[in-house]
Structure 1
Amino acid sequence: MAYFEKVEPHDGPAAGLLENLGGRFLPADLWAKVAGMAAEKDLIERRVVLPLAEPERDARHGVRPPRSIALFGPPGTGRPPSPGVSRPGSAGRSSSCSISRLADEGNLAAALRSAFARIAELERVLVFIDEVEEIAPVRHEPAQPGGLHGVTNELLKLIPGFRERDERLLVCATNSIRSLDPAFLRPGRFDYLIPIGTPDWAARSAIWSRYTDGRAEVDVAALVAASELFTPADIEHAARVAAQTSFERDLEAIGGGAGTHGRLGASTDDYLAALTRCRPTVTPAMVDEFSADITAHARC
């Protein structure tokens, strides 16, 4: 992103602070590596990337670059890769807030306040909070002892302060947007609420091509068709099962005197058989819920 395109030293005080926060410098080619998902990528490009990349043009049209966005989708649909990237050719700092790490400090609300205070010391930063429903659930009255009411209140106060400064972007992700407090999602705290669904045909094709090493004898199109609703992790698991099958067959061939090896690499049938043995993370019911969430919550 253009805010992060300035070349900065990878050492010095800011680098140490970034490391303490659990952040890191982002490789410049991550965005290009997100295959498929053309509609989602185009939406993020137009709503998030371009306004950040063209600040002078923004000003002429009265467009204010986004300061905070939220991504939501079914479990395992790969939301983190989408926000946690820089545009091709850019270099940026990303701080990924680990909720469990903050919780280890005891008082989660105080730890969250301290983390945002340290983040404020960085000139430009992208902050990513995954599974944000853990710290911003729906508040119930009266507040329950030991609940997260105070943590949600703290986060609601921190976001406006974070948004006041330029050259920073907060990205939150969740697979349960309906469990987030309504005040957390209001305009003024989040500019956009963007749905990210399961990998489409092009995305699954790219994933399968990677795991099959581009071997011509493997029918990638058949694997893509058979893996609808499979997440990237589901596909990885199926590919691992097929590879293990191929490996064991190779060992059996050696033991049976078939030379140094049998057929190398998993076949299309191996992969299809593995898919029938793997249970996809996303179910049709989850897809229906996701569609309802888009209608109720999406703001693009």
Structure 2
Amino acid sequence: IDEIDAIAPKREEVHGEGARLVRELFQLAREKAPSIVFIDELDAIGAKRLDTSTSGDREVHRTLMQLLAEMDGFDPRGDVKIIGATNRVDILDPALLRPGRFDRLIEIPLPDFEGRLEILRIHTRKMNLRDVDLRRIAEETEGASGADLKAIATEAGMFAIREGREYVTHDDFLKAIRKVRSPVESSISTEPGVMFG
């Protein structure tokens, strides 16, 4: 127990840490202006607020409140621009999407057939392919994101390596598609407001 206490941060050390980091980030951005603050995975700190009482949820809410204050608080942002990215816009807190917080909401849809084909070409250009029909792979991966396609290409290469081959086959890609896409599709909830299924 003593070892765990020594390693684990005390509650007082964590309390308010996210809000403090947001405050310091924007202070630094104002000092270095003109600047851009890019927040990737915005849903991690900007998810819809729920009536929960865990200390972790309260900390995320404090961080979100600080972000909202920095976005349109009393101190003008001046030449500080904010860009946020998420693939879960459905769970963002409505306060983040109010007018004046983000000037534009830009949705980048999943790639179509031609887009998937081009992404596959990019991620396989240094691979030794044998009898691989990338057009068929692009057809098989409808609904896949660019990240999914990269993972599929990487996993196909791993199948070849595991079998001691120096080339990747069409079958490696089919196995990679099953491995990469199956667990994701079954474990992610599409219910609005639910972060994890």
- Whether TM-score is above 0.5 comes out as yes
Which one of 138, 150, 159 corresponds to residue 224 of structure 1?
138
Deviation of 1:283 (Å):
3.9
Deviation of 1:139 (Å):
3.7
2:36 counterpart letter in structure 1: L
Contact 2:18 2:62 (8 Å CA) reproduced: no
Which one of 19, 24, 29 corresponds to residue 109 of structure 1?
19
Contact 1:140 1:149 (8 Å CA) reproduced: no
Q: Deviations over 1:108-128 (max 9, x none)?
A: 222211221111111222211
Deviation of 1:133 (Å):
2.6
- TM normalised by structure 2 equals 0.68
Identity of aligned residues (%): 30
The 3 A distance-change label for structure 1 pair 237 and 189 is closer
Q: Deviations over 1:128-166 (max 9, x none)?
A: 11222332333457x847314433222211102586413
Contact 2:130 2:169 (8 Å CA) reproduced: no
SS in 2 for 1:135: helix
Deviation of 1:246 (Å):
3.1
2:136 counterpart letter in structure 1: A
Which one of 18, 23, 28 corresponds to residue 118 of structure 1?
28
Instruction: Find the counterpart in structure 2 of residue 271 from structure 1.
Output: 173
Deviation of 1:288 (Å):
7.2
Deviation of 1:223 (Å):
1.0
Unaligned runs of 5+ in 2: 1-12, 193-197
Compare 147-156 and 157-166 and name the one that shifted more.
Answer: 157-166
Instruction: Find the counterpart in structure 2 of residue 175 from structure 1.
Output: 87
2 CA distance for matches of 1:150 and 1:247? 47
Q: Deviations over 1:39-82 (max 9, x none)?
A: xxxxxxxxxxxxxxxxxxxxxxxxxxxxxxxxxxxxxxxxxxxx
User: Is structure 2 residue 109 aligned with structure 1 residue 201?
Assistant: no
The 3 A distance-change label for structure 1 pair 231 and 120 is same
Contact 2:16 2:62 (8 Å CA) reproduced: no
Contact 2:153 2:173 (8 Å CA) reproduced: yes
Which one of 137, 148, 158 corresponds to residue 234 of structure 1?
148
More RCO (CA 8 Å, sep 6+):
1
Instruction: Give 1 or 2: higher helix fraction.
Output: 2
Alignment of 1:1-300 (within 5 A): 107-139=17-49, 144=53, 146=55, 147=58, 148-160=60-72, 164-166=77-79, 168-213=80-125, 217-250=131-164, 264-280=166-182, 283=185
Contact 2:130 2:170 (8 Å CA) reproduced: no
Deviation of 1:188 (Å):
1.1
Q: CA RMSD in A?
A: 3.6
The 3 A distance-change label for structure 1 pair 280 and 229 is farther
SS in 2 for 1:194: coil
The 3 A distance-change label for structure 1 pair 239 and 195 is same
Deviation of 1:281 (Å):
6.7
Q: How many residues align?
A: 174
Deviation of 1:191 (Å):
1.6
2 CA distance for matches of 1:136 and 1:122? 25
Contact 1:136 1:152 (8 Å CA) reproduced: yes
